[in-house]
Homo-oligomer: A and B are copies of this chain.
């Protein structure tokens, strides 16, 4: 069966050959490879149709300009290769009854995934108006990359996908994340050779050192060397083949090359290679991977206006443009589409013929219908211990200290123990540094590379994943969550910016998914940001950046939540809430250093449920209208606020001070802007509309202004926060560098509350002096003064 598709298209000019039953009858005798080829041609036909046509999908009428979309938007180059892989993997699924999902790294090849889902019948099941016939095919074509239609990329709208390929870099991390704790699953992951140049992808190959062949599934990477990006060749396509093989052997894989462009030869080669590869998956040796080398835009136009297109970067998007305006191009398009011999593939009503659908697996084994790719279908709620059982006892507020994350570690230990198959804790080498070490009483760190006798908490089947790549942590977790499991990513606060772009894409995925009825809710992506800006004493300026929150709040209010629990008990309550939630991104910022215990567990639970509230024991307004509101969010700012409140109580006892702590940052937004937004009447009652508000904030101060600018009292709001001053210094010196310290807060109050008189003026001077003394002490002795380090709320 040697073919050159391009030579046969014109035979059918002006005919509707699929009315001739004999053509299709002849296909009943097809062998397996011929059926795979038929499926591939059908998928390619449907892909080209999506990019170009808004009508006349089966070319039953002479093709004319008005059948062609006015704006040609799509990516052809990668699509035939993606279709080729789909077609061949289906055979393996059927023959081996293998659960499999497909990750299209070159996700801009959306037409391929859509064509596949339509051929498998899933598209019609998900979107009943897109029927699997000529009417549905017309709608399928028209809606693609069309106003009111579907995205041009593989997207949440695409059945069978857990991966939007828009940004590039994360296909393989997603694939491994999907495979963890999925022992029966194979994740086929096509990696584009453009994407392979990105950093995250380049390190993701090493994920094999973290895949437990006992309890996890298998990832089959298929590196698709189609040779070109938008405008350039790719690096991996242009290095010598021995170098390429060494690279992947060096990454710890057994590489297999499938290279060529003659379809019949390539079908035989791919099928044989897949048989070998699936046998190898079970033999205990290194994981196999496939290097698939095919022309970019394979089977598309070879040349356009004398320039080569197939096999070059020119095939990347729309290889034939100006089709509406140039009859010669319209004819080329028609010939191109007919080269797939649609008359053999679809019946007169546009339904795919049996020879095509015969290659499709059954029911949930169809990759487009796999429940693994709609993880909410498989999601089981976590078995959660009662977080109250881990409470720190608080006899009186702010008189004893606890490391909040250490307490959380105990809770997480038992979460891990109670959910041995569907919860993972991820972090870049910092789980112990972030003081969550109690988890190692229940589990170890997953590790499949060599072990030494000195190693601790390391080995196969660990529930903690540590690799020094925030990209990998994020990518693994996304893959794990989107296939229906739960997890928590703990990270140094400053370096979570490394995954800003990945967060953006995941948030967009959730934003889109929430509008798609068949997408079932998945577990929220939970971040625990510790080792935060105020306590990077030993790492200094490069480790001081609380700006991730600013990135997060740009995303839609429906999907983002930000929590700043000020002590251990509020952290426990927050963590419990986050682990129960669905379809959100929860960002929790909490310190690992000792902080004062503010609330009993009952108080903490109420405070967290409200999201913010008055600390009455620290306030002196006693229910009356206060003279000033001291607001705070974050553990260190709260500590400094309390110390300021204590000084004001002592030195200006007549001043009515109200202390408000904010745990749930989104409460500050108007109710019209965020589902958690506090109604204006409540906000005004809490913060007043006419009194100065000194807001001591964990992050960059502008964020508070941004969240509150519509509030009545906003003009009275004065925000302190991190203003990009820092270095390796003591904690209190850091506070002073940024004016969030207790002394400065007292000065702020005195500056803003009118009519305080000479006592206040005197106090203000003492505060200024105290700052100078504290700084001098620090510079002399290298640590904070004892009265700062040991400060607690004064006994009443």
Contacts and interface: CB of A to CB of B under 8 A. Distances in A.
Interface of A: 54, 69-71, 73-74, 108, 145-153, 155, 164, 166-169, 194-195, 197-204, 206, 209, 229-235, 238-240, 243-252, 308, 311-312, 317, 429-433, 445, 447, 449-452, 454-455, 458, 466-469, 471-472, 494-495, 497-498, 500-501, 504-505, 508, 511-512, 537-543, 545, 547, 550-551, 553-556, 700, 702, 705-706, 709, 714, 724, 727-730, 733, 775, 778-779, 781-783
A714 to B, nearest CB: 7
A195 B201 CA distance: 15
Contacts of A197: 203, 206, 467-469, 472
Contacts of A202: 199, 202-203, 206
B724 A555 contact: yes
B469 A199 contact: yes
A545 to B, nearest CB: 6
21 contacts: A73-B538, A147-B779, A151-B728, A155-B540, A155-B542, A167-B495, A169-B199, A194-B429, A198-B199, A199-B201, A206-B235, A229-B468, A230-B432, A231-B429, A232-B466, A233-B458, A249-B250, A500-B501, A554-B700, A702-B706, A705-B709
Overall SS of chain A's interface: loop
B542 A308 contact: no
Nearest to A727: B151
Given A71-B537, A199-B201, A709-B705, A235 B782 contact: no
Contacts of A234: 468
Task: Give the interface centre of A198, A248, A431, A449 by most chain B CB atoms within 10 Å.
Answer: A198
A200 B429 CA distance: 17
A204 to B, nearest CB: 7
Given A231-B466, A232-B466, A498-B500, 18 more contacts: A71-B783, A147-B729, A152-B539, A197-B467, A197-B468, A199-B199, A230-B432, A232-B429, A233-B458, A243-B250, A244-B250, A246-B250, A249-B250, A500-B501, A504-B547, A511-B724, A512-B541, A547-B554
Given A152-B539, A167-B542, A203-B198, A782 B69 contact: yes
Contacts of A195: 468
A243 B317 CA distance: 38
Contact of A545 (B54, B151, B504, B783): B504
Given A232-B429, A235-B449, A469-B197, A166 B542 contact: yes
Contacts of A709: 705, 709, 714
Given A199-B202, A429-B194, A454-B308, A74 B542 contact: no
Most B Cβ at <10 Å: residue of A149, A151, A458: A151
A535 to B, nearest CB: 12
B194 A500 contact: no
A564 to B, nearest CB: 17
A452 B233 contact: yes
Contacts of A198: 199, 203, 468-469, 471
A229 B554 contact: no
A252 B239 contact: yes
Contacts of A451: 238
A114 to B, nearest CB: 13
B167 A498 contact: yes
Nearest to A511: B724
A238 B705 CA distance: 50
Which 4 pairs across A and B sit closest by C-beta, in order of nearness?
A247-B250, A166-B542, A199-B199, A73-B538
A556 B724 contact: yes
A541 to B, nearest CB: 6
Contact of A166 (B240, B540, B550): B540
A430 to B, nearest CB: 7
Nearest to A432: B231
A425 to B, nearest CB: 13
A790 to B, nearest CB: 14
B540 A152 contact: yes
Contacts of A545: 504, 554
A735 B150 CA distance: 18
A238 B449 contact: yes
A73 B252 CA distance: 38
Contacts of A240: 450
Nearest to A467: B197
Given A197-B468, A472-B199, A108 B458 contact: no
Given A239-B449, A433-B231, A541 B151 contact: yes
A429 B169 CA distance: 15
Contacts of A779: 146-148
Nearest to A543: B166
Contacts of A312: 454
B728 A145 contact: yes
A346 to B, nearest CB: 24
Nearest to A239: B449
A537 B151 CA distance: 10
Contacts of A551: 497, 500, 547, 550-551
A25 B728 CA distance: 41
Given A195-B468, A539-B153, A554 B203 contact: no
A429 B230 contact: yes
A458 B251 CA distance: 29
Nearest to A558: B724
